[in-house]
Structure 1
């Protein structure tokens, strides 16, 4: 897996967001480093990103880095992003995730067969209307309010019922954001909108990234050709 070009691109992107020099260990395992500028997690939290057989962990202070190195040494990589198993060795008060991390190589894209997808500016009123029509948790979770690309939308009559776009992370990643109106789910609309967003990201030479927690979202990613390479977890620690 170490020679997998897609894995290498994904790791390079996350290392660029760590805010400090570190590496995914070549022989597996975990690298723990203090970084006050880490984008792997909210400020003051511990950020854990596992990709393939290795992981990187950023902590807010150097003193905590030493503690975590001792606690995490020798743990299987998959345990690092499993909140229930991790809590047994590292007490924490809050967690964000875990979320799976999937990536797509341009040659693996499986485009949707639906051609009724329109592109609208990210600040368009129709996108705002869709976000306002769903539960607040769904609107926050999908991330569409913060996209930097156009929004790619599917309409039912005059109403947008599904949308996708991406946030550009650093200089190389297109972080996908997708939302379907609850009453319209299960009809392939998320895949149609996301297919257009992914194609736009590839055209702009970006690495499409799909971060997901719900299983339906993972299935959409898989149908488009994404490969799950790892997971991410952010925690607020007590030690």
Structure 2
């Protein structure tokens, strides 16, 4: 059974997102919706952590979705409908999961260690998979290798502010489901924890394979992120 997240970890997660959104540190402390107007922002962002939702964006956008019920605020179609006429570019909805103690995968014998060049693995995946992995922004990468030494999966992380380490993982399409992604991601998460960071698993809602890996490693889903890009009025 996965150990629950500690109150201290949950507090640091809230602080981390408050830093990322440039909102007050107490923004996530109370339940309900909390709106912060950033009129210079070119995106509408909704972060849900537990029973608290923080909405950040220009006033003409946040005003339109503030009246939605909490469950509809992370319904991308409902949000885009409310932004009709503003030419919104929906990026998507992501699951946000975290872990206190990483569960090391068992029954998988792989070699795990640092790697720099991952071009061959990148070329074997789709551009969408590469972009979603986020590895381009993660210089410290760790590979899980096949018995013949070839790279099967790569994981890494990007430091977000004081508290969070955004993880990314990419696996050879022909070797998925064999434990390579979990092994690489577990090591990357442990390295992040050694730097006193909280590993964050962020993936598209509906990405069942990714969520299953996160669950196997002990991650708890505690929130959602919705992002919609908005056009720059100066360029319209």
- Coarse TM-score class (shorter-chain normalised): 0.7 to 0.9
Deviation of 1:76 after TM superposition, in Å, equals 2.9
Question: Does the alignment pair 1:52 with 2:46?
Answer: no
Once the two structures are overlaid, the 10-residue window that deviates more, 170-179 or 85-94, is: 85-94
Residue 11 of structure 1 is matched in structure 2 by 14
Question: Does the alignment pair 1:183 with 2:178?
Answer: no
Specify whether residues 78 and 149 from structure 1 end up closer, same or farther in structure 2 by C-alpha distance, changes over 3 A only: farther
Q: How does 1:87-98 map to 2 (within 5 A)?
A: 87-91=80-84, 93-98=88-93
Once the two structures are overlaid, the 10-residue window that deviates more, 67-76 or 130-139, is: 67-76
TM-score by length of 1: 0.82
SS in 2 for 1:208: strand
Of 77, 81, 102 in structure 1, the residue corresponding to residue 97 of structure 2 is 102
TM-score by length of 2: 0.83
Runs of at least 5 residues in structure 2 that lack an aligned partner in the other structure: 1-5
Deviation of 1:105 after TM superposition, in Å, equals 1.2
Of 103, 110, 118 in structure 1, the residue corresponding to residue 112 of structure 2 is 118
Specify whether residues 138 and 198 from structure 1 end up closer, same or farther in structure 2 by C-alpha distance, changes over 3 A only: same
Deviation of 1:203 after TM superposition, in Å, equals 1.4
Count, aligned residues: 221
Q: Is the 8 A contact 1:54 1:77 kept in 2?
A: no
Residue 133 of structure 1 is matched in structure 2 by 124
Question: Does the alignment pair 1:229 with 2:232?
Answer: no
Q: In 2, distance between residues paired with 1:25 and 1:196?
A: 32
Q: In 2, distance between residues paired with 1:208 and 1:77?
A: 26
